[in-house]
Amino acid sequence: MSVLNKLLGMLDELKEENPELANKALLAAETLKSGVDPEDLEGEWEDEEEVEEEEEFDDTYVVISESDSSAFLNGREGLNNKLTDYGIYMRDHEVQKVMMLEDIEAVRANNEKFLQLLRERYSLDPNAAYTLELDENGSGNLAFVKQ
């Protein structure tokens, strides 16, 4: 089984064990599937020592070396850190987005109130529709034009 498949399996397990991380795990899995060539990955994780194959190799229980275990656990920790960083980024982005949308709505509401105040100040027909255009005289002032 390739390293990529193992990582994808671990991400599936993570989704089942911790539903809160399901979206992060899914994103990580999709990133792994689309952006990494499995052949390249296996080159990074190969054991540095050549293991001689015996005729009767029992693979029912194989202890992984300390360096390989450490490398794998470091990789998993790095993935978890990146997923956490991404989650924090998305949360902060959403908060900032909501704040900006609230600011935009406040400015829009103030403009609407100001236009209504101008309609009253200039005694415009409250039932008629008006558009705002630049003054025809070229003064740069705005003018209400009845539709």
Q: Is residue 31 part of a domain?
A: yes
3-state DSSP assignment of residue 45: helix
Query: In the numeric block, which tokens belong to residue 21?
Result: 């991380």
- pLDDT at position 92, please? 96
What is the C-alpha to C-alpha distance for residues 23 and 11, in angstroms, rounded to an integer?
10
Residue 105 in any domain: the answer is yes
At residue 104, what is the residue type? Answer: I
Measured in residues, the chain has a length of 147
Decide: 134 and 142 in contact? Cβ < 8 Å. yes
DSSP assignments along 31-74, one per residue:
HHHHH--HHHHHHHH--SSPPPPPTT---SS-PPPHHHHHHHHH
In a domain, 135, yes or no: no
Which domain range does residue 13 map to? 3-116
Give the number of other Cβ atoms within 10 Å of residue 114's Cβ: 10
* 144 close to 131: Cβ distance less than 8 angstroms: yes
The values of phi and psi at residue 130, to 5°, are: -130, 150
One-letter amino acid at 57 equals F
Q: Has residue 131 been placed in a domain?
A: no
Residues of the chain falling short of pLDDT 70: 1-2, 35-55
Whether residue 130 lies inside any domain: the answer is: no
Residue 67 lies in a domain: yes
| Number of domains comprising the chain | 1
pLDDT of residue 36: 56
Does 107 map to a domain? yes
pLDDT score, position 24: 83
pLDDT of residue 82: 96
At residue 54, the pLDDT reads 52
Residue 111 lies in a domain: yes
Q: Are strands 130-134 and 142-146 parallel, antiparallel or unpaired?
A: antiparallel
